[in-house]
Amino acid sequence: MADDKPRASDGQSISKAIAVLRAIADNQGCSLGDIAKATGMARSTVQRMVSALNNEGFVTKNAGHQGVFLGMELARLGAKVNLNARALLMPLMEELHAQIGDNIDLTAMEDGRVIVIEQIASNEDIRVISFVGREHPVHCTANGKAHLSQLSHETALALLQDRGMPALTGHSITDPARLMAQVEAFAEFGLFIDREEYGVDACAMATTLPEIGGRKLAISIAMPTARFKRREEDLKAALLNFRREVQARFGTSI
C-alpha cells in the first residue's frame, strides 16, 4: 500500500525547484553553474531539478540558445490566474480593523481616479462614512496622496492639472507644487495624511501597497479629528505593519 503522507524531502524538493525557477527568472539563459551559484545548490542538484522542470515544461533548454529559460507551461498557468486584490487583502484588513476599529478603505487608481474597491465600516457611533465605489479626490485625501506617490513627478502634476484641485475645506492644498512637495516628503516614511483637507472634523492616514494584478493600491484609516489626534501614533504603527505583512505574503508585486 502506497504511503500518501507528505515527507520532509518533498517540501525540500519543492523549495529547491522554486529557487531554481526564481534564479532562471532573474537571469534568462543562465547556465547550470550560474543557477548553482545563485541558489547555493550543488551543480548536480541543479542539473536534476532543471531536468525535472524541463520534463514538465516549466523550463526549456532548447530555445535556440545556450542556457536555461522559463518554459511556456508557466505562462499557460499564469494566464489562468485571476488576482483579486479584495479577496487577497480582506483577511489582513479584518485583522487591522479588529485592532483599530475605525473606517478602512482599500483604494485603487483607475484611469487617474482613486476608487474605493473594498471597505470595512467603523465600529464607533461617531464615524467617517465611506463605501465601495466611492471616488476619493486625488489632491486632498490620504489615499489620493498615496496614489500620487506611485506616479512620476511629471505624471502626478499632469494628473492634478487635469483633475483640478478645488478647496473642499479651509485646509485643502490647492497649489500643485506645494502638494507634491508634501507627497514626496511623506513618501520617505511611507505614510500620507489628510488633516481635515477633504472634510471638516475628519482626518485619515494611508500607506501604499504592492501592486496586485497590475493595480496600484493604497489603504487608509479614517476617523473624526479628535480621535485621530489621540491615536495617530497607533495608526502609523498599524499601517506600516499592515504593509510589511502584505509584502511578506505577496512580495513587492504580484
> pLDDT tens digits for 8-64?
466 688 889 999 999 988 888 899 999 999 999 999 999 999 999 999 988 887 655
Q: Is it the case that residue 77 has pLDDT exceeding 80?
A: no
Which residues make beta-bridge pairs with 103?
A: 222
pLDDT greater than 80 at residue 132: yes
- pLDDT at residue 6 in the model: 47
**Which residue type, as a one-letter code, is found at position 149?**
S
Q: Does residue 1 carry a pLDDT above 60? A: no
Q: What is the pLDDT of residue 7?
A: 52
Condensed to tens digits (0 to 9), the pLDDT of residues 139-196 reads 999 999 999 999 999 999 999 999 999 999 999 999 999 999 999 999 999 999 999 9
CB 130 within 8 A of CB 122: no
Q: Domains in the chain, please, with CATH?
A: 8-79 (1.10.10.10), 85-250 (3.30.450.40)
φ/ψ of 16, rounded to 5, equals -65, -40
Interatomic CA distance for residues 116 and 64, integer angstroms: 47
Q: Which of 197, 110, 203 has its CA nearest to residue 159?
A: 110
Average pLDDT, the chain: 89
Is the pTM here over 0.75, yes or no? no
Q: Higher confidence at residue 157 or residue 1?
A: 157
Query: 154: which 3 cell numbers?
Result: 511629471
Cα(80)–Cα(198) distance, integer angstroms: 40
Span 97-124, pLDDT tens digits: 999 999 999 999 988 999 999 999 999 8
Contact 190, 207 (CB under 8 A): yes
Q: What is the largest CA-CA distance in the chain?
A: 76
In 15-153, the DSSP E strands lie at 59-60, 69-70, 103-110, 113-120, 135-136
Looking at residue 133, the DSSP 8-state letter turns out to be T
CB contact burial 26-39 (16+ within 10 A = b; e otherwise): eeeebebebbbebb
